[in-house]
Each structure stands twice: as structure tokens, then as C-alpha cells.
Amino acid sequence: MATVGGDLPHLGAAGLVVLNAWQWRNPDAPDWLQTLSPVGYYSATGTLLACLVYLTFQGHVSPRGLLRVLTRPLGVRLGRLLGDATLGVFGLHLTVLYVVQRSGIGGPLRASPTTHDMLIRLLVVIAVTWLIVLVLRRIPYVRAVL
């Protein structure tokens, strides 16, 4: 199966996931690494990881790829529905995250949340943001904006 960039995106993404997992709350992580790219939403490793994950998935969405179900009519319709709403999700997700954090969903608000807290928040923010955007997109004027 041919993928975009061969195995490089797979290996790079796996390596950055391992690096981030090791670096997260690890007192043995070198100061230069924490300074250059701390684990976080806007870090250099986070940005590069997002690009590599995109390339990895793009390589698997093909009639013979692992995600071939996405090339069938139902997968294409679902992909189009969600794809058309991504700008709205991008624009709204930080607001939803703020509300979720302030409401205490996923544990108390603290400077260094636990992995459990972060996963709960991630799932809630994704679900709530998509739901809000998909509902708002049913309004004709809003659809043109989102």
C-alpha cells in the first residue's frame, strides 16, 4: 500500500508521540528540550505531530488502504459533512474548552492537569464543539459563515 511520504510520516508521528509521552511531567527531560518545545498545544513538536498524523491518515484513505471504509458512499458523505464544518470547529473549540475547564468537567482546573482529566476534556470538547457547529450549520445564514 502506497502512502504519502512512505513510512516517514508513520515513524515520525510515532517518535513524536513517544517523545511527548516521555517529556510530559518528566523531571529528567532536559531543560533545553523543555525550552525549545515544551509539551503543549502550540509547541513545535505538537505542530509537527499534527502534520505527520494528517499525512499518515491521508496515506491510509484509499480504496486499498486501512481506512478504505471512508472511500465508500457513507464514509464520503460523513467526511463531507464533518469536513464542511471544520472551520466552525476550529473557531469554536477554544471557547468550548474554556467553558469546559471553568465548569470543572474532567476534574478541577489546575496548572498541570492529569492525563485522565485531559482525556475527558478532550472528548467532551470534541463532542460538544461538533454538535454545536453541526446544529448551527442548519441555519442558512450561519451555514455560509461556518
Domain ranges in the chain? 1-71, 72-146
The arithmetic mean of pLDDT across residues 13-42, rounded, is 89
> Which amino acid is located at 72 in the chain?
R
Q: What is the pTM of this model?
A: 0.65
- Is residue 106 within 8 Å of 97, Cβ to Cβ? no
**Within 13 Å, how many C-alpha atoms sit on residue 110's CB side?**
10
What are the grid coordinates assigned to 126, written together? 470534541
Question: Residue 1: what pLDDT?
Answer: 47
Q: What is the DSSP letter of 71?
A: G
In the predicted structure, residue 29 carries a pLDDT above the cut 70: yes
